[in-house]
Chains A and B, each alone.
Chain A
Amino acid sequence: MPETPERAPAIAAPRVAGSTRRDPWVLLAIGAAALIARIVLAVTHHGDAPATRAATATQPDLVRWVAADSAEAVSRATGKPILYEFGADWCGPCQAMTHDIFSQPALARAVEGYVVPVRVTDRQREQGRNPPGVDSLQTACGVNAFPTLALVSRGQVIDRQVGYPGAAVTMGWLARASDHGHPPRRN
């Protein structure tokens, strides 16, 4: 259905005094200043970093990730559910999540307090295939986008978060979801 063209409105506002030719240049100058700041930030924080989600010199990943094959045993021993963090090196939101959460001392400690954290990095794009076990874990947790956080308790996926909605939301989700997913502690 074609849209009705907008009618020219009756405007009674007075004409702006002076030339408005400079207006775009002011905006472009602000954009250029922000772009320079963006480049400086990219170079000082990320630009010279290796293409990996692991620690960088300025933003170390402070979470002590547990190996996937021993996570089940650690979960049973500690009574905490397992948090699988599915991501990839090329995934921008994954980097943002690492920066906002896993590199912050208080939040990294909180993550370790709630769950047994396991990082699963997809290598399909870089290497053409994934390390053993990654594809099966992704299938089991229903991963079809990065980042995905999957909370697993007693072998069952009890909750998932797809995408990165920000640190506050992610930590809130983690706190509530892990609270509902405590497996019975082995005595």
Chain B
Amino acid sequence: MNRTLILTLIRNRLSSPVRLALLVITTLSLMPVAIFSHQLGPIASSAIFFGFIIAAGAIGQDIASGTLQLVLARPVSRPAYVMSRWFATGLLAGAWTVGVLALAYAAIASGPTAPTRVEFLVLAGEGISQAFGGAALVIMFSSLAGGLGDVGLLVGSYIALNILGQVAQHDDWRPVIALVEQLNASYTLHLSLGWIVEHQPPPWMSIMVYVSTVAFALGVAILRLNRRELSYAGNA
């Protein structure tokens, strides 16, 4: 990973009015739910959306604007570029999630059913993991499509998957139903950490879903970028 690339992308995202507006709107829609229900769960489980918003176009916009050629003309490898993109977007989305969780926690801390500090920490950990997971998914799609085409790929594939799931349910195709369930799990990436404080055995299934999804997403992104031919004479 490259520190300069990480800091540059974070600065870029924090200076983007559109992304900040989307983050604020999402946050403002979640806060009342958390405050009135006295639960931080809705915020932690929405961290993946923060990852989506921040990571959208992380590679695709560089491809579309021609920045990728200039970045890769510097002493940085393509895998380092992809990993830096992922880490920067995951870090920012995770930090945003923790900030929102802290605000909601402060707002409901005095209530009769306020979450404990341990619960807050567990949810913060789950939120950060979701943010990094969501960012990995978008980075993969971003390596496949220019501009903000990754958003289209993400939404389109999710809708297609759910239509397939509905058809499979209707016709009772058990193997397809199982496949769709597994793929759907890769779009939500909920990694429960409660087992640590509950002294329960680890939820191996959730862990494997998370690891396989993130590793595959980053592997595909690097593979795609390694095979992409970049020309300085093109119209990029």
Contacts and interface: CB of A to CB of B under 8 A. Distances in A.
Q: Name the residue among B74, B194, B197 with the largest chain A CB count within 10 angstroms.
A: B194
B118 A168 contact: yes
Given A26-B219, A38-B212, A170-B194, 8 more contacts: A24-B220, A37-B204, A163-B45, A165-B39, A166-B41, A166-B126, A169-B194, A173-B39
Contact of B194 (A21, A25, A32, A167): A167
A5 B4 contact: no
B185 interface: yes
Given A3-B18, A163-B45, A9 B40 contact: no
Nearest to A175: B113
Interface of A: 1, 3-16, 20-21, 23-28, 30-32, 34-35, 37-38, 41-42, 45-47, 90, 92-93, 96, 99-100, 104, 107, 125-126, 159-173, 176-177, 180
A165 B44 CA distance: 8
Given A13-B75, A166-B193, A169-B119, A31 B215 contact: yes
Contact of A176 (B75, B112, B178, B214): B112
B41 A9 contact: no
Nearest to A90: B169
A23 B79 contact: yes
B122 interface: yes
9 contacts: A6-B61, A26-B219, A27-B218, A31-B213, A32-B216, A45-B205, A92-B188, A166-B193, A167-B194
Interface string B142-170: 00000000000000000000000000010
Contact of B178 (A47, A104, A159): A47
A47 B209 CA distance: 15
Nearest to B17: A1
A14 B75 contact: yes
B76 A13 contact: yes
Contacts of A104: 200
B80 A169 contact: no
A35 B182 CA distance: 10
Interface stretch (B5-13, B23-31, B92-100): B5-13
A167 B198 contact: yes
Contact of B41 (A8, A11, A159, A169): A169
Nearest to B19: A3
B4 A41 contact: no
Interface string B205-228: 110110111111011111100100
Interface string B162-194: 000000010000000110011011001010111
Contact of B222 (A9, A27, A38, A163): A27
B192 A100 contact: yes
A54 B62 CA distance: 50
Question: Sorted from nearest, which 4 A-B pairs have the closest CB atoms?
Answer: A165-B41, A168-B194, A27-B219, A8-B70
A124 to B, nearest CB: 11
A37 B185 CA distance: 15
Interface in B88-136: 112-113, 115-116, 118-119, 122-123, 126
Contacts of B76: 11, 13, 15
A24 B119 CA distance: 36
Contacts of A160: 37
Given A6-B67, A92-B181, A180-B112, A28 B61 contact: no
A172 B197 CA distance: 12
A28 B215 contact: yes
Nearest to B204: A41
B71 A8 contact: yes
Given A41-B204, A159-B113, A167-B192, A35 B216 contact: yes
B77 A3 contact: no
